[in-house]
Amino acid sequence: MVRSRSEVGRAGGPAPRRTALVVGATGIAGEPLLRHLVGREDWFAYGLSRRPPTAGGALPGDSVRHIQVDLADPRATGAALAGLAEVTHVFYCGYQEHSDPTEHRRVNAAMFRNLLDAVEPAAQGLRRIVLLQGMKYYGCHLGPFKTPAEEDDPPVTTPHFYYDQQAELIRRQRGKGWTWAAARPHSICGPSVGGPMNIVATIAAYATVRKAMGLPLSFPGKPGAYKARRQVTDAAMLARAMAWMATAPECANQAFNIANGDVISWQQVWPLFAGYFDMRPGEPRRRSLARTMGNKGRLWDRLVRTHGLEPYSLDRLAAWSYGDALFGSDWDILSDTAKCRAFGFREVVDSGRMFLRLFDGLRAAGVIP
């Protein structure tokens, strides 16, 4: 049931109840965020995506309502959100992959603009919009860059939709009653299946296929990428960080790097992965995952039948191109997380243990044997 804002926040009454709109409800970041919010007394949440949320089981029905709409369609978006007067906080975790860089930027900027065009006039009590960005803000995908990256570092000259979205937010916020915040994680690691940037499921699928072929778990990237220092971000922790930055007054109009808090290299965690999957580690050897794994669909289908797994295709499960990009980056990818800690978010996650917990989750869900 959706409660009205007038029901909450009275002196001596229940804790203020906020109403979230989580855009990207089926995504690697959005789904855990939705799950985090609906588990809390003080939130009611709407989820938004084109597909209904299904991964990880049903969400509690009285605390969440799903809006199925294509944000690329401004008219449909306006109609779908017109009645959402209750929304106090928007979390934007929407993202659409596109192979053409110009189209990629255009589509993602347009989706965000269409969302704002629809939600701003509808949600009269809007208090904050939290935008999910990432380390590409600092150009981490382009080559070596200044590390650790700090929130105030200047944008790189290569265009990116992060800059378009942030500029749109800053422009619209002037003179309004709401404020914004932005989260900048790197390599979001969550329990979800699918998605164009899902490294946990990609590693799990790679290990499972290699094991079935009797091969060791060799690192498929550049030797320099094996050793380079990097961070990852636990999706559950990111959800808590985004809820924090949506409500803490001091986070208004601020961006925050969000990472687990430890620094890892693939060299450090790869033997852990080999141990988990009961495989020999193998020497690092550069090979394109898209090319060498992209043709293992039939082998995977056999594994699904043999082990009674959930019927995901290998293509849906693994993001081979993303793996190729990540394992091909032979430079440090590090952000400074001092700012979020100074502002009050001090959680730390052990990244090695996080990977094993997430593999456990995939196994328990019948996604991998």
Ligand X SMILES: NC(=O)c1ccc[n+]([C@@H]2O[C@H](COP(=O)([O-])OP(=O)(O)OC[C@H]3O[C@@H](n4cnc5c(N)ncnc54)[C@H](OP(=O)(O)O)[C@@H]3O)[C@@H](O)[C@H]2O)c1
Distance, in Å, from the CA atom of 84 to the CA atom of 80, rounded to the nearest integer, reads: 9
> Which is nearer to ligand X, 187 or 211 (by Cβ)?
187
Count residues binding ligand X (CB under 6 A). 27
What is the DSSP secondary structure assignment for residue 18, as one 8-state letter?
Answer: E
CB of 294 to ligand X, least distance (A): 19
Rule CB under 6 A: choose which of 24, 139, 191, 284 binds ligand X. Answer: 24
> Which is nearer to ligand X, 126 or 188 (by Cβ)?
188
Q: Answer yes or no whether residue 164 interacts with ligand X by CB under 6 A.
A: no
Q: Answer yes or no whether residue 247 interacts with ligand X by CB under 6 A.
A: no
Share of the chain residues as helix, strand and coil, in percent rounded to the nearest 5: 40, 15, 45
Rule CB under 6 A: choose which of 72, 263, 264, 365 binds ligand X. Answer: 72
b/e per residue 51-61 (b: at least 16 CB within 10 A): eebebeeebee
Q: Answer yes or no whether residue 238 interacts with ligand X by CB under 6 A.
A: no
Q: Answer yes or no whether residue 51 interacts with ligand X by CB under 6 A.
A: yes
| Stretch 168-207 residues interacting with ligand X (CB under 6 A) | 185-188, 195-197
Distance, in Å, from the CA atom of 238 to the CA atom of 244, rounded to the nearest integer, reads: 10
Choose one: 65-73, 239-247, 252-260, 351-359; the region binding ligand X (CB under 6 A). 65-73
Q: Answer yes or no whether residue 159 interacts with ligand X by CB under 6 A.
A: no
Q: Answer yes or no whether residue 26 interacts with ligand X by CB under 6 A.
A: yes
**Which segments of 213-310 does DSSP mark as H helices, in order?**
223-227, 235-247, 266-276, 289-292, 297-307
Close Cβ partners of 57 (under 8 Å, ≥ 6 residues apart)? none
Q: Answer yes or no whether residue 254 interacts with ligand X by CB under 6 A.
A: no
User: Contact, 55 vs 27, CB < 8 A?
Assistant: no
* CA–centroid distance for 84 within its chain: 24
Give me the residues that bind ligand X (CB under 6 A), please. Answer: 24-30, 49-51, 70-72, 93-96, 111, 132, 134, 185-188, 195-197
